[in-house]
Structure 1
């Protein structure tokens, strides 16, 4: 959890048990009923609870009852213990979303936090003290980018007419195409990210942009696969794959199979009018600091 951008601190402890001031031996040998728990403090301006929970679900088997990895026992049950009832709708929504990935029922318990006790010092930062210690979690998951769709809600047509210029509106809403070589980003290669002009959802990175010479901005992939959607397009007597933004449902361009083979072979041919460039130096200030790891 500490490796996730936006997390301030994470400490190990015990919670939701039957006794006070438990020690590790009480969980193992005396059936104290506590769950081994991580208390996470995070900056709500930098990461949302929903995003944090998505990282959590990346590293657990939510259908496994009272065990994770090689660890077995009620102290290893999976749970989300909230300190505010305002968080319940978010927790339930994420669990409902995760359930779609599994045929078995998710058994993560959701309860109010009932007394958190700090674990012994040797449990804190365990893997820093024991680099080869056992851990079933793939720590690299913390570096994987999660783009939370709820941060970039869909905008109404009326709002878009006020926000966008005529060309941006026609391209994103009516599938228009700007002229090749006469658009803002076709030969632009500064360091940063490109976001949906309608919602601000991050779509592409300059790390994945290349000079295709087709006259439009070209990328080999999206920042993460889920931020774009694909649709068959038979307009102009052609069979093409249209690319739209996930949250804004804005027309972006098309994807072709004539990109650099050594980089996957895709060419995302994107209209400049459908995207906005965010310089690397301003990503933190504008709320995209969690994506700076793309450039490491």
Structure 2
């Protein structure tokens, strides 16, 4: 079946090339891809070879996975040099249609690539995948180093436990690999309606199989780090629940527009539009930017019951909250130590990464 698509695809490609500049754009795209591969070669890029039936679909599948930085279709582990497609399908050269996959191990794990690959094949089928038949469609994972080979064998052995029939996926070293003809490269990109033995929904699955790891912008700091970073008073207040002197702290009478962030993490906590003069001698706020940013705990120290306020991410002691605040602002007073905060004036907020919060200053 695939041979029919190859013939039709070649005829269509010639016609389109003769009448439009569309293919030139695709060529530029391919050139850019090759340039990117060259760049990635300078990093810790590894390679592994997957034979999974028709290489058109297998290549397109791996191209969807985040962390795969280059692919190339070709013929692997045969018995002659530089075979043509016609020689491969003659069943006399022993080659398997194979995809060379270059990946960044810092972005995607080889074990995940193998697991995803198994979802595109019947690993118990001999020389047959989808509608294609022949030894060139056998399944295999070929490696070029001992470390990769060991991982491949280990992961395939694990996956084999999910099947009642023997697994027929070859897990052997790469003997040789020859690039396939140009019209085979990125075939499904150039021919979206082309033949493919892989169920279309699996391509979408591959796109979402390795999402980027969420990077936490604000992180709790080690106490040893904080001892070096903070002043003595800031450390005692945030880490040992001390209280600074009223009227003798940095922000009790600060009236400029801006944002107040956790001194230990930099995470935004309070905005100046919620600050008010309470007469207590410490910065007072009617509310935090979000309740999700703080923790409130019962505090039975100093012979009274109070509600302690701590930053959720940094777990830093901030102060206490009382119910004697302005009624028109909700009735609460978050009495916060200046030593727990860092004030960022409105004029500096954007440059220091707090630009998204400037709009809060306009909501008076």
Using the size of structure 2 for normalisation, the TM-score is: 0.42
Deviations 1:92-124 (A, max 9, x none): xxxxxxxxxxxxxxxxx973449xxxxxxxxxx
Q: In structure 2, what is the Cα distance between the partners aligned to 1:180 and 1:84?
A: 54
Matches of 2:66 and 2:272 in 1, distance apart?
40
2:318 equivalent to 1:263: no
CA shift for structure 1 position 84: 2.7
Match of 1:208 in 2: 274
Matched, 1:284 2:266: no
Asked if the contact 2:324/2:332 (under 8 Å) is kept, the reply is yes
CA contact under 8 A between 1:149 and 1:247: conserved in structure 2? no
2:217 alignment counterpart: 151
- 1:184 equivalent to 2:184? Answer no
Instruction: Report what 1:84 is aligned to.
Output: 66
Aligned-residue offset at 1:87: 8.2
In structure 2, relative to structure 1, the CA distance for the partners of 1:152 and 1:110 (3 Å cut) is farther
Tell me the residue number matched to 1:293: 359
Question: Cα deviations across residues 171-215 of structure 1 (Å, max 9, x unaligned)?
Answer: 000000001111111111100000000000000000100000111
Counting only pairs closer than 5 Å after superposition, residues 31-180 of structure 1 correspond to structure 2 as 84-85=66-67, 111-113=205-207, 150-180=216-246
- State the secondary structure of the residue aligned to 2:205: strand
Higher helix share: 2
Measured in 2, the distance between the counterparts of 1:110 and 1:179 equals: 59
- Given the superposition, is the C-alpha separation of residues 232 and 87 from structure 1 closer, same or farther in structure 2, using an over 3 Å criterion? farther
* Whole-angstrom CA distance in 2 between matches of 1:291 and 1:236: 37
> What do residues 26-68 of structure 1 show as CA deviations (whole Å, max 9, x unaligned)?
xxxxxxxxxxxxxxxxxxxxxxxxxxxxxxxxxxxxxxxxxxx
Match of 2:233, SS? Answer: helix
Structure 1, gaps ≥5 residues long: 1-81, 90-108, 115-147
Instruction: Flag the 1:271–1:287 CA change in 2: closer, same or farther, 3 A.
Output: same
The 3-state SS of whatever aligns with 1:151 is coil
CA contact (8 A) 1:196 1:245 kept: yes
Contact kept in structure 1, 2:309 and 2:317, CA below 8 Å = yes
Larger Rg: 2
Among 233, 236, 241, the residue aligned to 2:307: 241
Residues 252-276 of structure 1: CA deviation (Å, up to 9, x unaligned): 0000000001110010000000000
- In structure 2, the residue corresponding to 1:111 is in which secondary structure? helix
Larger deviation, residues 243-252 vs 284-293:
284-293
Instruction: Please give the root-mean-square deviation of Cα atoms over the aligned residues, in Å.
Output: 2.4
Asked whether 1:221 is paired with 2:221, we answer no
TM score, norm. by length of structure 1: 0.52
- Separation in structure 1 between the aligned mates of residue 223 and residue 321 of structure 2, nearest angstrom: 26
What SS does the aligned partner of 1:221 have?
A: coil
The one of 194, 215, 221 equivalent to 2:260 is: 194
Runs of 4 or more above 6 Å deviation? 86-89
Separation in structure 2 between the aligned mates of residue 110 and residue 205 of structure 1, nearest angstrom: 42
CA distance in 2: counterparts of 1:234 and 1:177, whole angstroms: 15
The answer as to whether partners of 1:152 and 1:247 remain within 8 angstroms in 2 is: yes
User: What is the DSSP-based 3-state SS (H/G/I as helix, E as strand, rest coil) of the residue aligned with 1:154?
Assistant: coil
Change in Cα spacing, 1:84 to 1:292, as seen in structure 2 (3 Å) is farther
Q: Is the 8 A contact 2:275 2:283 kept in 1?
A: yes
